[in-house]
Each structure stands twice: as C-alpha cells, then as structure tokens.
Amino acid sequence: MTGTLANTDKIVERLKIEVAACTRLMNLEGIMDYSGHVSARVPGRELFVIQDLDMARGDVHPDNLLLADFDGNKVDGPDGLFPPAEVCIHSEILKARPDINSVAHVHPDTAILFTLADGPKLSPVRNHAARWGDGIPVHPDPAHINTPELGKALADTLGSHNAALIRAHGIVVAAENVPAVLIDTVHFVENAEAFFRAAQLGPVLPLTKQEMASFLERFRRPRHIRKLWDYYMGRGITAGAVPAEWAGVAEQALPTS
Ligand SMILES: [Zn+2]
C-alpha cells in the first residue's frame, strides 16, 4: 500500500468515528430521530462516508458505515448494508460545493413549520445564526429526494448558502467538517425555535446586517466548534450514547484558534 493510500485509510477511520459520534449526538439531543443522516467527504476523492439505510441512529458505529461515490452508489462497506434512499442529497451537494466537507439532513419540527405557513421567513434571530446571514433558501419540492436529479435540484436551491429548508420535509446544513455540521445544526434548530417563540410575543426583530457583521467580526469559529463539540461529546459519553474512546479523535483534526 502506498503512503498516500495508508494516510487516506487513517483519515477515513477518523471520519467514520466523527460521523458515528455526530449521528448519535444528534439523536441524543433530539435533532435527529428515526431518519436523517450525516456525511463526510473523503479529502481529494469523489467519495464520502455515510450511514446505512435502516440503522437506528443511536446505534451507528464506524464499523457499519459505508463509503459512497458521487453517483450515490456504495463502493465499500459491510455486505447487506446500503446507503440511505436520500443519499443523493449528500452526493449532489458535495459535488456542487467543493468548499463543503460535511452535510447533515434532518427533519426538525419547528424549522419545518416555517415552510408550512404564509408567515415570516426564517431568518437569523440568535447571534450564532449569523452563519446564515446571506439567506436561508426554501426548496419548494417536498418530495423524498431519492434520485440524482432531485438531489441536484436541492443543491441548486442551496446554491452558495450554508443551509436550506425543504418544504414540508426538513433541512440541510453544510459545513467545513463533521464537528462544524453538528454545531451548525444545533444552532439552526435553536434559531428556528427562538424565532417561533419570539413570534408569540410580538413582531420578530431579525438580526440586522450590521448586527451580524459585528458578531462575525469577533467570532472565532474554529474555537467555538471545538468547545461545543467537546461539550456535546461529554454529554454523549456521560449518557452512555457515545463510547469514551471516541473522545479526542475528531479534536485531532480541529483547529485550536
Ligand atoms: Zn428527508
């Protein structure tokens, strides 16, 4: 085996632990339930790590994760396991967005409400939602995204944004790595819930462009991702949802500044 391939194997090993941990933590925190999935791009390859179709989200393990290609086909993984029906959400977004290395697709109730009513559009109200200051597009087609064409249509809706709502269905969140996609998804759900609850009090006052610029100017994203990843991993380990030996694995690849 060449050095490069051996390095890739090590990276895939780490990405599988990250995806398994992220999935279990989303399940523990109520962000993911019986469906939804997280992917991780294999650097420099048209491949990504993804879970099996039916595996309970709290049971996802590095040993039962798959490698899929940009057509959504399984290229490696245990016999009898196959990518999720909506694998093309991941293949098409990763194909269209070389700046993105991880995608989460989940179905959070409160965020979906914003696609069901002729009311205000979901926009940033909590400071960390400044990540989506350039807009949160709504994909108009509520269909199960189970073909490359439907996946590409969603990737087109997402465009250069970092999250999108899918009408009557769910959300996609795109980030630079798996820990970041966990933290962004947490913040996306927090923001949707805050907006919804604030609307009970009166007209909502979304963050202004200036407020978001001020927040982002002082925000140290890598440090924030590392802090919250450690926090959620700690909760997962205490709850018995994540094995203690997975702690520290993703942190090896996270910037410290
Ligand atoms: Zn879905």
C-alpha count within 13 angstroms, C-beta hemisphere, residue 175: 22
Residues in contact with 198: Cβ distance below 8 Å, sequence separation at least 6, in sequence order: 125, 204, 205
| CA 33 / ligand 1 centre spacing (Å) | 11
Cα–ligand 1 centroid distance for 216 (angstroms):
31
Q: Residue 6 has what pLDDT?
A: 63
- pLDDT tens digit sequence for 182-192: 999 999 999 99
CA of residue 37 to ligand 1 center, whole Å? 9
**Can you tell me the distance from the alpha carbon of 251 to that of 229, in angstroms, rounded to the nearest whole number?**
8
Tell me, what CATH number does 232's domain have?
Answer: 3.40.225.10
pLDDT in tens, 15-73: 999 999 999 999 999 999 999 999 999 999 999 999 999 899 999 999 999 999 999 99
Q: Is 162 helix (H, G, I), strand (E, B) or coil?
A: coil
What pLDDT is attached to residue 1? 40
Range of the structural domain that residue 134 is part of: 3-253
How many domains are contained in the chain? Answer: 1
CA of 150 to the centre of ligand 1 (A): 12
The Cα angle at residue 95 between residues 92 and 101, in degrees rounded to 5 = 105
User: pTM score, two decimals?
Assistant: 0.95
Q: What is the pLDDT of residue 5?
A: 56
